[in-house]
Structure 1
Amino acid sequence: MNSKVCIRYKDFDLLRIIPFPAGSEFDFKISLVDNDYDLRMHPLVKKWFWKPNDENFHLKDWEITYHNKKGDEPSKLHFKRLAEPHEYYDFPIVKMADPISSPEFPIPFMKIGVSKESTQLRKFKAKSNYTVIDIGSANVVELFIVGADFDLDRFMRKWEMFDLLYTVVPIEYFVNGKLSKGFLGPKYEAIYSGSESLFRFKTRINEQVGIMAVWYLDSNIDGSKQRSFIAFYENQDYVKFMACAPIEYKYHNGSKSERKPAYKWQLERSQQRMDPAEYDNWRCYFEKLESENKNKDILPDGFSLETATHKDIMP
């Protein structure tokens, strides 16, 4: 059964995700419901993002489709003009993961940032055939694609080290492996502010695909420093950045552990609860990813974690 999704912020409707049945030309489309966001497009391994050069480009004039992989043709994001004649354009970011390619790890997909002063957004109206993701007064929501049967609690138990990274790092890290303070700071503050200010929620949208949402507050999106935006990510290599993130532990006496990739810390924990065949499969998989990163001279920024509280995370 398909389930449409609405993202609600205060009394505003941010966007709709409208799925299509398995076997369709694309998995789902995104309707911006006449909201005119700035468009950001993040290419792999780059610290910057692209924006449309055309000053006459208005995102509210388009809807966006996520096409699944078809034969040798990779997945892609597609613009469709709402007004007739309907024009179609491919996104300039092209290294996209297939929406049904990862039953194990959430695929970074999209981020919405809303100016706290914005009053030009569409008013929210409840509809019975929509699942509503209500982010309250938080003004940033990160969206990840997951399998329809993805179990967040199971994921947290099986992959606790990776779950920590999904929780802490901003979605941009999965694209470039860099901990830019502009992206890291707001999420870090939301987690460690002492209040319940970061939330996660997962919903199924069709027979194969689900959406996991993470939301928090970013005071920098104030209409002056940053306007309301929607960002998309070239996400093909996200597991490489997650698995190979260098991590060290800080101990109370001031000493530090060896710094090594997150997957090695994870496998040390997983070895006792995985059967030998599954463990060897994942070990070989992650070692291959690490080798690919080394061949491309890619080294993600690393983290320092306090052994008891896991409160300090820094490049």
Structure 2
Amino acid sequence: MKPPTGSASEGASGGLYRGRFAPSPTGDLHAGSIMAALGSWLFARRAGGEWLVRIEDLDPPREEAGAARRQLRMLAAMGLVPDGPVEYQSTRSAIYQQALDQLVERGQAFACHCSRSDLSAVGGIHRECVARRRRQNPAIRLRVPAGSRVTFVDRILGECTQDVSGTVGDFVLRRADGWWAYQLAVVVDDGAQRVTDVVRGADLLDSTPRQILLQRALGLPTPGYAHLPLILGLDGTKLSKSGAAPAVDPEDPVAALHAAWLALGQPLGAVPRGGTPQAFLEAASAAFDPALVPSNPQPAAVHNRGVTLHE
């Protein structure tokens, strides 16, 4: 399994590199999300490109009051300042609706009345509607034709393939409760913000083939992808903002940056242990080597939903 080669001075599309960090406000930033923030920033800085921040506040029932504000304050304390205004998905419903209307008009998306219990009878994968009754507010799904397979080359994990029709099926773009689905919002926003490269945790690897299918359906360019290793808790599970993962101390930002640097597989002596975040980031951006970033240490996470890594 070999990461692809190529110039690091430009984005996947050949133009100016534009990366992003996009946390959901379900809790304070923890070690795993700090690593994703630093990793995405380092990839952007190494390429001489731009780094953006987007708050993915699409699911109010799961969000924690004040979390977005605390997340941005933690990023600022670490010196991770975006190259542009922070975007909030909660303000972008009109652009999502426009994209959804386009897909529905083309017959690429459809209203679905199936409930979870309906789909449980067919293994939980939607290949055709099996609803036993109509719902007042149906979900909207992307139509995934039989045989839809997606292969892409990840900068860290190498070539990855998923049979989207077989392992995921027709997936939701707008939920039955009216909230926008993550898959639609992230694709539309990455396109609107001209994101060329997505650097994020390997827990989102199984979402990438769906997002590529959706990019194709909407006529949007496909960015490059790099999925960073997960940081696991003492029980072996992924750290989660909405779970019991401890928040990072904003009073000691350099310690948080240093821990993230080591989790990214970078050399211990290349960055200072103390000093200011600015001094740390200057040294880190000069020394960062993407080839040293380890692949995910937990195979179950990267093989989720049938994503295959080609050795």
Sort the TM-score into its range (normalised by shorter chain): under 0.3
Structure with higher helix content: 2
| TM-score normalised by the chain length of structure 2 | 0.23
Structure with higher strand content: 1
Higher RCO, Cα 8 Å, sep 6+: 2
| TM-score normalised by the chain length of structure 1 | 0.23
